[in-house]
Structures are given as C-alpha cells and as structure tokens.
Amino acid sequence: MTCGGIDLGGTKIEARLFEGAGAETVEVRRIPTPLGSFEEMIGGIAEQVRWLTEVGGEGLPIGLSVPGIVDPVTGIGFASNVPTTGRAIAPAVTEATGRILPVVNDCMAFAYSEAHGGAGDAFRSVFGLVLGTGVGAGFCLEGRLPHRHAGLAVEVGHVGVSARALERHGLPLFRCGCGKLGCVENYVSGTGVANLAEWKMGRRLHAPELAASDDPAAREVMDIWADVAGDVLNAIQLMLDPDCIALGGGLSNLPGVAETLTESLSRQRLGQERVPLIVRAQHGDSSGARGAALLAVAS
C-alpha cells in the first residue's frame, strides 16, 4: 500500500509518503504554513499535493488533516491557528489541485491512525488524546470515525474542569484562549502545566524540567497535573468507555506518563470497573498525516 497524507498546522504543512502494509513513512516534506490569507494557505497545500504526486505517482491516494472544525454539511471551517474560519476548505483544495481529497480533523486522524496499525490496533474503540500546547482528542469506533453532527472532534480541552478537582487543590479558574474560564486545556496541556507552576511556584516552568526536578514544589505541581488529568480521563471513561486511550503530544513523552495516568484514573473511577489501556501513541507526530492517508485509501 502506498498513500500520502498532508497535515496542516499553524506553523508548517507536512506531507508524508507512506508505504507497506504498516503504512510506514518513507519520505517527508515540510514547508512553512502561509498564514497571510486563505488563498495563500491553499496554495501551500496544493504545493504539497504536487510533491506527493511526483514522488508517489498520479494515482496516489492523498488525505488532508486540518485543525479545528469542518462542518460535514456546509464544509465551512473554524480554527484559531489557520485561516479556515468561514471558508470551505475541501472545494478550494479541489479547485487548486484538480483532486478531491478527504478532509478530516487532525485529532480524529490521530485516533484513526492509532486504531489502524498503531497503539490501538487490537481494540474496538480507541480514544486518541493529544496533550500538547493545547488538548485535543478524537475517537475511532469499530475501525471507523463515527459521524459528528457539527464536525467537532472530541473537544475535551474546552470542557470545564470539574469542581471536585478545583476543590481538592484550591485551584483558581484560569481563563482560556477561547474566552471562557476553567477549560480543561488550561490545566492538563503543556500550557496548563506552566499555568500550575506559575500559580504554585511563581514562575512558568515546562513539564520536562518539572518532571526532572528534585524540588518538592515541582513534584507537587506534577502531582496536581496528574490528578486533574486523571479526573479528565474519568470523565472520558464515563462518557465513552473506550478500550484504549492512545496518548500523543509533547506531554506523552514524559517518563512513565502512561503508568502515572493509569494510576490516577484508577483512584478516581466510579467503582471498580476495568480501566482502559493507556499507552503512548505508536506513530507519534506522523499520526495526523498517516490517519488522513489511510482514510484516503479507505474512501
């Protein structure tokens, strides 16, 4: 199997060529994302489509993963970091390239990738949780992406943090970039860890340095982070009860993170129900492009 995937991000547009039964990356090309206008951004995507066609052949299946929301009825997008808001991206890509590309949310593509030859390959329901600068998530059920009424992924990052988590630690309500108070993203993302450090220690420190520190205050920050993250995982299990949770994003690289979060969820579960397997994603940074490429093959 040979296929291509393009992952649109706020800083770069990444194109990957995949080959073999396991859809492994054989070539990668990254270009800066043109953010001056929607038309310039579409031009960048078209450039990557042309490159993939050159290296993979004219009939190469190609998929596109994008941040934010794409309404499945209107095709209209909404995103904070790329100029897709109010614009229909799929028709614009078709006009620029002469090709119809499946367009999928990047977190849903991540979950799809991990459910097909990734960390969740043996499971019927896979939840992909991306803990990076922000928090994003996707869900794959029985090997397929379930219908999303308005094109949302699983926007757990913009669910409000629970009152019990706030009360346990005396946490303040941090204001989110979306304008609301208390979004989960501001406590369990990389930005959230820095928020917790500033609140507890008076300075913004990043998760890797906190995790490596012997400072008791740094350890307390990471313990609070793990506890709040476990509360979020409990909410995910209560709502979706996935077999497997695949972790992506920068925080997934913390030493022992899967074990830490499994223990935190186990403490906070509703009763004595089995907790899902929590594991680091197998395909990491390539999962957005890989999921889009696999969807192109399947479509």
Measure the CA–CA gap between 24 and 177, rounded to whole angstroms: 36
The Cα–Cα gap between 248 and 191 comes to 15
- Where does CATH 3.30.420.40 sit in the chain? 2-104+290-298, 119-281
Among 3.40.50.360, 1.10.30.50, 3.30.420.40, 3.10.450.50, what is the CATH number of 119-281? 3.30.420.40
21: pLDDT confidence band, cut at 50, 70 and 90? confident
Contact 241, 180 (CB under 8 A): no
The CA-CA-CA angle for residues 29, 69, 151, to 5°, reads 120
**DSSP calls for 185-234:** HHHHSHHHHHHHHHHHHSS---HHHHHH---HHHHHHHHHHHHHHHHHHH
Between 21 and 253, the more confident residue is: 253
Mean per-residue pLDDT, 139-158: 95
Rounded-to-integer distance, Cα 181 and Cα 242, Å: 28
The single residue listed with the structure tokens 């009360």 is: 167
Exposed, middle or buried, 242 (CB in 10 Å: 0-12/13-18/19+)?
Answer: buried
The tally of CA atoms less than 13 A away on the side-chain side of residue 57 is 8
- Residues in the chain, overall count: 299
pLDDT at 176: 93
Q: Which amino acid is at 101?
A: L
Decide the pairing of beta strands 103-105 and 62-66: parallel
Residues 235 and 240: their CA atoms lie apart, in Å, by: 9
- What single-letter amino acid sits at 295? L
Q: What is the mean pLDDT of the chain?
A: 95
Q: What is the pLDDT of residues 239-274, one digit of tens each?
A: 999 999 999 999 999 999 999 999 999 999 999 999
The fourth-level CATH superfamily of domain 2-104+290-298 is ATPase, nucleotide binding domain (3.30.420.40)
In contact, 290 and 284? CB cutoff 8 Å: no
Distance CA 222, CA 216 (A): 10
The secondary structure of residue 80, as a DSSP letter, is S
Task: Give the span between the Cα atoms of 5 and 295, in whole angstroms.
Answer: 9
Cα 50 from chain centre: 26
Residue carrying structure tokens 């296929």: 3
Helix/strand/coil for 133: coil
Residue that the structure tokens 């596109």 belong to: 64
Q: Residue 140 carries which DSSP code? A: E
| pLDDT score recorded for residue 80 | 85
In tens, the pLDDT along 187-245 reads 999 999 999 999 999 999 999 999 999 999 999 999 999 999 999 999 999 999 999 99
pTM of the model: 0.95
